[in-house]
Amino acid sequence: MKLLSVLAIVLCGCMSLPPTARPAAQTSTEAVVALVDANGELFCAAVNTPYGVVTARHCVDDKQPGDEVLAAVEFSSNQHRWSQPWYVLRVVRHATDADLSLLSRIPDMRVHQATLSNHAPRRGDTVSCVGHPWGLAFNVTTGHVSSSTPYWDDELGIRLTVTQLPVSPGNSGGPVYNDQHELVGVVTGMHGSLTLITYYADLITLVRR
């Protein structure tokens, strides 16, 4: 499977997580940020969590722990680019067995934090993703989990599960939510017409390490 900017990584497993102070329904789009270059051009989406900002590893794979990454939360429709202020984040760590990276926290309490789910999505569950495909800021698409049976990808060395969540370039690194507006994963790529997802435990390992 070739990693593209169009595959959802929904993290499966079951583990309790501490509640956040913000209602989940308020954070499905408000916790989404844009990773931008020095000109304010988008290269990936990401999601703010109580542990830091989470994105797909392939979005920042050229960065080492401690390197800077710019993040933005306001989009100028007139200029078709992300407006300042841009937040300077740093890479905290990369997952070794999943397409996930953890960045430092956004130093602005006005930026919402996504509520993490405490259980994995099941087959048939409705999921949605938020990203910035084709220049459409904070675009939401909805689909379903096709299978929760794990599939091992030998090329990537990660566990995957199949979904049918519509994603496009610009969704990469953005969050995937369940029908309770709780975070269950991030967008990472696609395999043919199928959207693949990894275990929820990979996210827990990333943020709690």
Angle at 31 between CA 56 and CA 104, to 5 degrees: 55
What distances in angstroms separate CA 167 from CA 1, 60, 138, one per listed residue? Answer: 16, 19, 13
- Whether the upstream peptide bond of residue 85 has omega within 30° of 0, thus cis, is yes
Of 177, 156, 171, 136, the residue nearest 6 (C-alpha): 171
Q: Which amino acid is at 57?
A: R
More confident residue, 150 or 42: 42
The HSE-up count of residue 100 (CA atoms within 13 Å, CB side) is: 30
- pLDDT tens figures, 62-104: 999 999 999 999 888 776 788 888 999 999 999 988 889 999 9
DSSP category for residue 191? B
**Mean pLDDT (the chain, rounded):** 79
pLDDT at 18: 37
> 31-103 belongs to which homologous superfamily?
Trypsin-like serine proteases (2.40.10.10)
Q: What is the pLDDT of residues 127-165, one digit of tens each?
A: 888 888 887 889 888 888 887 777 777 777 777 667 787
* CA-wise closest residue to 28 among 183, 137, 134: 183
DSSP 145: B
- Confidence category of residue 7, pLDDT binned at 50, 70, 90: very low
pLDDT at 20: 38
CATH of domain 8-18+114-208: 2.40.10.10
Closest among 48, 112, 28, 38 to 81, alpha carbons compared: 38
Mean pLDDT of 167-174: 84
Give start-end residues of each CATH 2.40.10.10 domain in the chain: 8-18+114-208, 31-103
Share above pLDDT 70 across residues of the chain, in percent, rounded to a whole number: 81
What is the rounded distance in angstroms from the CA atom of residue 45 to the CA atom of residue 187? 9
